[in-house]
Amino acid sequence: MFVTDKGQLYWLKVYRIPEGSRTAKGKAVVNLIQLRPDEKIMEIIPTTDFNEDKSLVFFTRNGIVKRTKLAEFKNIRSVGVRAITLDDTDELVTAKIATDGVQNLFIVTKKGMCIRFDINDTRELGRTARGVTGIRFKEKGDEVVGATVIFNEDEELLTVSEKGIGKRTTAQEYRLQKRGGKGVIAMKLTPRTKDLVGVVIVDENKDLMALGSSGKMIRVDMQTIRKAGRNTSGVKVVSVSGDDIVASVARCPKKEPEDIDVLNEESILE
């Protein structure tokens, strides 16, 4: 499934996406789904089923949260369907699938604030509903930059700033609040860190992939990132130079051993 900044949802069967090599240019998504000219894809959500016990949670830039049964998106037209009604000044940031095991929702903002609240604070709404307030901003000009679902308090969250500073902290360090609060500090921001760009759940079986504003991709082993307290600035995770900043972060599978061997062979040949 593809979710856009305008709140539109499209889905596409994986076999319809042409397979290519690592260095291939790829095919424009607009040739696969009928995106509107002013739409940007904000989240790609893989799923194998649309069970009734799953829901799709939407997070917007202005702090709105909406939860809808995943089954409501089982059969949609090729032109997509309206997944959430947005205010004129708002846009979608991300969307996540929530199963029965999810306990909390977690939102982080550009100015280093965050909130963790019970998923049951957001009742399931219809497809075209607007949603409810997830977080209220303490500072003028703040906005939501990332969000995720939490299965238990022992899970670890990794927040990353524009200058590549990351902070790995357990979920229980962020006290549970009621939905709609102003939250607590997620990372102490300084000129060295700049603003926050996103959050991911730590999985030591996966790597962190960071995309720079210059288009450079950097892969980081999550095992190498040490834990830090909640109200700290974190540690250097991604190296950026000059005016370049980290634009987004995501988890990705670790490199296969054979991939590393190929790279070593290429280095020897050079």
Nearest to 66 by CA among 121, 5, 141: 121
Out of 92-96, 100-104, 189-193, 254-258, which region has the weakest mean confidence (pLDDT)? 254-258
Virtual torsion, Cα 199, 178, 88, 56, nearest 10 deg: 60
What integer is the mean pLDDT of 111-115?
Answer: 95
CA torsion through residues 108, 137, 243, 230, sign = negative
Q: CB-hemisphere CA count at 13 Å for 117?
A: 21
How does 152-167 read in b/e, with b if 16+ C-beta sit within 10 Å? eeebbbbbbbbbbbbb
**Can you read off the two tokens belonging to residue 157?**
């969250």
What integer is the mean pLDDT of 80-100?
Answer: 92
Confidence of residue 102 (pLDDT cuts 50, 70, 90): very high
- pLDDT tens digits for 27-46? 777 777 888 888 888 888 88
- H-helix or E-strand spanning residue 220: strand 217-221
Main-chain dihedrals φ then ψ at residue 142, nearest 5 degrees? -80, 160
Work out the mean pLDDT of the chain and round it to a whole number: 87
Q: How far apart are CA 164 and CA 244, in angstroms?
A: 10
Confidence of residue 264 (pLDDT cuts 50, 70, 90): very low
The answer to whether residues 193 and 162 touch, using CB atoms and an 8 Å cutoff, is yes
Looking at per-residue confidence, does 22 or 44 come out higher?
44
Q: Beta 196-201 vs 206-212: how paired, if at all?
A: unpaired
Residue 111's pLDDT is what?
Answer: 95
What integer is the mean pLDDT of 68-72?
Answer: 92
Residue 79's pLDDT is what?
Answer: 77
Share of the chain above pLDDT 90, in %: 50
pLDDT at position 145 over 90: yes
Q: How far apart are CA 198 and CA 249, in angstroms?
A: 6
What integer is the mean pLDDT of 88-99?
Answer: 94
Share of the chain above pLDDT 70, in %: 93
Distance of CA 121 to the CA centre of its chain: 21
What integer is the mean pLDDT of 61-82?
Answer: 88
What one-letter code names the amino acid at 190?
T
pLDDT at position 258 over 70: no
Q: How far apart are CA 59 and CA 84, in angstroms?
A: 10
The reported pTM is 0.86
- Per domain, the residue ranges of the chain are 2-269
Q: How far apart are CA 159 and CA 199, in angstroms?
A: 4
Residue 256's pLDDT is what?
Answer: 63
Q: How far apart are CA 116 and CA 100, in angstroms?
A: 17
pLDDT at position 63 over 90: yes
Tokens 């042409």, residue? 18
Residue 267's pLDDT is what?
Answer: 40
pLDDT at position 184 over 80: yes
What integer is the mean pLDDT of 50-75?
Answer: 92
CATH number of the domain at 2-269, out of 3.40.50.300, 2.120.10.90, 2.60.120.10, 3.30.365.10?
2.120.10.90
DSSP secondary structure code for residue 226 in this structure: P
**Can you read off the two tokens belonging to residue 82?**
């309206």
What integer is the mean pLDDT of 241-258?
Answer: 82
Residue 15's pLDDT is what?
Answer: 75
The answer to whether residues 90 and 155 touch, using CB atoms and an 8 Å cutoff, is no
